[in-house]
Amino acid sequence: MSENSDVFKNTIKQNLAPIWSYLEDKTVSEILINSFQEIFVERKGKLERVPAKFLDEDNLRAAVNSVAQSVGRRITDEEPRLDARLPDGSRIAVVIPPCSRKGTTVSIRKFTNNKISFADYIRLGAISEDGARFLDVCMFLGKNMIVSGGTGSGKTTLLSLLCSRIPKGQRLIVIEDSSELQIEYDHVVMFETRQANGVGKGEVNMKDLLKSSLRLRPDRIIVGEVRSSEALELINAMNTGHKGCLGTIHANTPEDAIVRLEALAQGGDGKISEKALRSQVSSAVELMVQVTRFTDGSRRISHISEVLGFHPDGSYHVVPIFQMSRMKRRTDGSLEGFLEPTGEIPTFMDEIVDNNLPFPQSKFIKKTG
């Protein structure tokens, strides 16, 4: 791993010299190259344009080709997209012309090995103390949970944290397109998908790995990101005795997230009716945790909701247990808001009591005034 990292570092120094300083800068979380002469970086959730430039389009294209080769991948006119994990754990995504109209477009999301805890979340204002304790309770009870949010909202970071709160003595199988999750746990099996080779053979996708994982005695299955028909396999796993399964999905609200999950599952080959599928989705997913990136650059948990079947009109009944209060802007431009109980009592309150967990029903009382 260290040898590969050295190769990557040398490749960056030699070929991507204009952005090297930003890769070294710990305050920069992402580098966005829109064209050879237009580069932005993200610092503390805010984008800013930087003066760095490449000599020309050919220079940038050559640099991208070199990076792709260093990780055993290629990007060509026939395959104009690249999505890969670099040896240091960073993620690189590239689209080249003619698909990219302004020129070669690159995103490098830097890897961070900073360990984060619920205490850090609370300190940063990303969650309330009671909200964190409630999620801890849900992990202990093995509730099936989907973390939803937009790109860069912090879904993967939260999923890593939730996995670390799983009670000891269980076997976790983690499935990702590109390994990003940092899980501190004793018994973890990590799987990563593989793209087809140059002649279109050898692909192993999320759905394949999910099917294999069911035969490998998992206690909990963790899917880094649900983005295709593997959603059906995850729902099946949740409904067949694998308690406490987790995954992330791209969506703006908990309601949107579960509808998107259903839509992705419809792409599976299970020959299942729409009515049966919707019933399975509503019984499989118990909690939705929404992570939101706000306009001040902060990333916070805005909803912790329970899925309770359907409304009379057929829409999913998603009830917020904790929800972010109205956000007010401070004089320094930052937003002030707090994750608060809504007054709804989770249907599994009896489980909390029966397991002698220190989270009384009074914690769910809505604050007034």
List the domains of the chain with CATH numbers: 2-109 (3.30.450.90), 118-364 (3.40.50.300)
Q: How many CB atoms lie within 10 A of CB 98?
A: 7
**Which percentage of the chain shows pLDDT scores above 90?**
63
pLDDT value at residue 8 = 59
> CA-to-CA distance for 181 and 86, rounded, in angstroms?
14
DSSP code for 344:
P
Crossing angle of helices 230-238 and 206-213, in 10° steps, is 20
SS3 content of the chain, % helix, strand, coil (to 5): 30, 25, 45
- HEC profile for 107-174? EEECCCCCCCCHHHHHHHCCCCHHHHHHHHHHHHHCCCEEEEECCCCCHHHHHHHHHHCCCCCCCEEE
With contact defined as beta carbons under 8 Å apart, do 61 and 79 qualify? Answer: no
Pairing of strands 91-95, 81-85: antiparallel
- Identity of the residue numbered 314: G
Scan for tokens 């593989």, then name that residue: 194
Paired tokens of 96? 């080249």
* Predicted local confidence at residue 1, as pLDDT: 46
Asked whether the CA dihedral 327, 328, 333, 334 is positive or negative, the reply is negative
Mean pLDDT, the chain, integer: 90
Q: Please tell me whether the peptide bond between 98 and the residue prior to it is cis, using omega within 30 degrees of 0.
A: yes
Residues 6+ apart with CB under 8 A from 194: 202, 203, 204
How many helices (H) and strands (E) would you count in the chain? 11, 17
Instruction: Give the span between the Cα atoms of 40 and 49, in whole angstroms.
Output: 4
What stretches in the chain show pLDDT beneath 50? 1
pLDDT of residue 91: 85
Residue of 78, 92, 82, 130 lying closest to 16 (CA atoms): 92
Cα–Cα dist 179/197, whole Å: 19
Burial class (CB within 10 angstroms; exposed 0-12, middle 13-18, buried 19+) of 203 = exposed
Query: Can you point out the beta strands (E) in 268-357?
Result: 287-293, 299-310, 316-324, 328-329, 335-336, 339-341
- CA dihedral (132, 136, 139, 140) in degrees, to 10, reads -170
Residues ≥6 apart with Cβ < 8 Å to 105: 33, 34, 35, 94, 95, 96
